[in-house]
Amino acid sequence: MEVDTETKMKPASTSFEPEFNVDFLRIYYDKAFPYDLMFKWLSYFKLGSDSEEQGDTVMLQSLREEDVKSEYFYNREFSFTLENDVYCRYLCFKSPEEFKETLVSRTPHKIDIGAVFNIPPKNHLSTEKKVFIPKEKEMVFDIDMTDYDNVRTCCTGAKVCPKCWAYMACATKVLNQALTEDFGFKAMLWVFSGRRGIHCWIADEEARSMSNEMRSAVTEYMFLAVGNEQSSGLELNYPLHPALNRAYQYLKTKFEQIIIRDQELLEHAPHQNKFIKLLPAKDREQMTIAFQRSKSGEERWAKYDAALKVLEAADKKVS
Ligand SMILES: [Zn+2]
């Protein structure tokens, strides 16, 4: 009897792909996907046809549809990315049951949660463009691991390990404090993006109903121009804005562990050079010599830290 080694070998090599497996995905949608929780979240207790916008005639048309468990949920746009990057927009669901039925049968590889519109998104073509209007959407912040490539020595791109994840943990803490203490948001949902980052969904009613201008204003408040070796450092105004000072006070407790010890950033010549270029021009030469005479990243940091303390003491004397 002849054994087809090719075929015999195949099940062992292709039956299990930890990266991605469409059969597992279908089982996940059938048995594990949290439909009821998703529905509970995305309907925000606005059940049935009890909508705030009953005066809207277009809305009233959609209320006549049967089996709609939450008008608010039904008016939410979902988009699917199917196999071979086929992208479907304007999907919407009357109930968690219909949501499940569709997910199991179409097995999307990716689901995007869009805005809540004034009418069910699937009817967007049956109406004049101007009356298909996005009404609400959670505000979403996206923290991407690749943003830290400049200060990562352990991984690059989509690769993540516990050492560089520490950057994400810091970013989460800083962002969370600003959102809760400065804006008073309470309903934040932090989720792993599935690949290389974290998303924060702010679901408070105030956040959901914000205009684009308000969203930009919140983002701008959080934005701090990033200094790099080309722009020779980041100029900050002192005294620091209270939000910046709060972030600084927290981050300086993490700095040595993450940057100096875990990432060993000052062990590597390219990073040493980047660091030197971030310093004021007058201090660069002295620090370059000090760095060259040091044996380790920790020693380099200690020398910089000592030099900084001397400068700070001198500044205090002058003032
Ligand atoms: Zn890493």
Q: What is the distance in A from the centroid of ligand 1 to the CA of 233?
A: 25
Q: What is the mean pLDDT of the chain?
A: 86
Does 83 map to a domain? Answer: yes
Selected catalytic residue, list 65, 142, 205, 312: 142
127 with 142, same domain: the answer is no
pTM: predicted TM-score of the whole model, two decimal places: 0.81
Does 6 map to a domain? Answer: no
Q: Which residues line ion ligand 1, judged by CB < 5 Å?
A: 154-155, 161, 163-164
Q: What is the distance in A from the centroid of ligand 1 to the CA of 39?
A: 35
Does 85 map to a domain? Answer: yes
pLDDT on residue 193: 82
111 with 209, same domain: the answer is no
Does 275 map to a domain? Answer: no
Q: What is the distance in A from the centroid of ligand 1 to the CA of 301?
A: 21
Question: Both tokens of residue 146?
Answer: 């690749």
pLDDT on residue 7: 35
290 near 299, Cβ under 8 Å? Answer: no
113 with 192, same domain: the answer is no
Q: Each residue of 52-69: b (16+ CB within 10 Å) or e? A: eeeebebbeebeeeeebb
Residue type, 36: D
CATH number of the domain residue 151 falls in: 3.90.920.10
pLDDT > 70: percent of the chain = 84
156 with 106, same domain: the answer is no
Q: What is the distance in A from the centroid of ligand 1 to the CA of 155?
A: 4
Question: Structural domain of residue 166, as residue ranges?
Answer: 138-233
180 with 92, same domain: the answer is no
Does 252 map to a domain? Answer: no
- Cβ atoms within 10 Å, residue 141: 19
Least confident of 36-50, 171-185, 200-214: 36-50
126 with 28, same domain: the answer is yes
Give 79's pLDDT tier (boundaries 50, 70, 90).
very high
145 with 119, same domain: the answer is no
Q: What is the distance in A from the centroid of ligand 1 to the CA of 161?
A: 4
Neighbour-count burial of 266, counting CB atoms closer than 10 A to its CB (0-12 exposed, 13-18 middle, 19+ buried): buried
Does 283 map to a domain? Answer: no
Positive or negative, the CA dihedral 293, 149, 219, 44 is: negative
* Integer Cα distance of 54 and 273 in angstroms: 63
Selected catalytic residue, list 98, 101, 144, 147: 144
**Boundary residue ending a domain (97, 131, 165):** 131
**Boundary residue ending a domain (131, 159, 178):** 131
Number of domains in the chain: 2
Q: What is the distance in A from the centroid of ligand 1 to the CA of 158?
A: 10
pLDDT on residue 312: 78
Give 226's pLDDT tier (boundaries 50, 70, 90).
low
Q: Helix, strand or coil for residue 311?
A: helix
pLDDT > 90: percent of the chain = 66
Question: Both tokens of residue 173?
Answer: 């803490």
State the average pLDDT over residues 132-156. Answer: 92
Active site residue 144: yes
Q: Which of 114, 120, 112, 115 is nearest to 95 (CA)?
A: 120
Q: Helix, strand or coil for residue 300?
A: helix
Does 248 map to a domain? Answer: no
Q: Residue 171, Cα to own-chain centre: how many angstroms?
A: 10
214 with 116, same domain: the answer is no
Full DSSP string of 250-283: HHHHHHIIIIIIIS-GGGSHHHHHHHHHHS-HHH
* Integer Cα distance of 139 and 225 in angstroms: 21
pLDDT on residue 233: 55
Does 86 map to a domain? Answer: yes
Higher pLDDT, 64 or 2: 64
pLDDT on residue 55: 45
112 with 165, same domain: the answer is no
Q: Which helix (H) or strand (E) holds 299?
A: helix 297-318
65 with 100, same domain: the answer is yes
For the chain, give me the number of helices (H) and strands (E)? 13, 7
Q: What is the distance in A from the centroid of ligand 1 to the CA of 167?
A: 10
**Boundary residue ending a domain (212, 233, 254):** 233
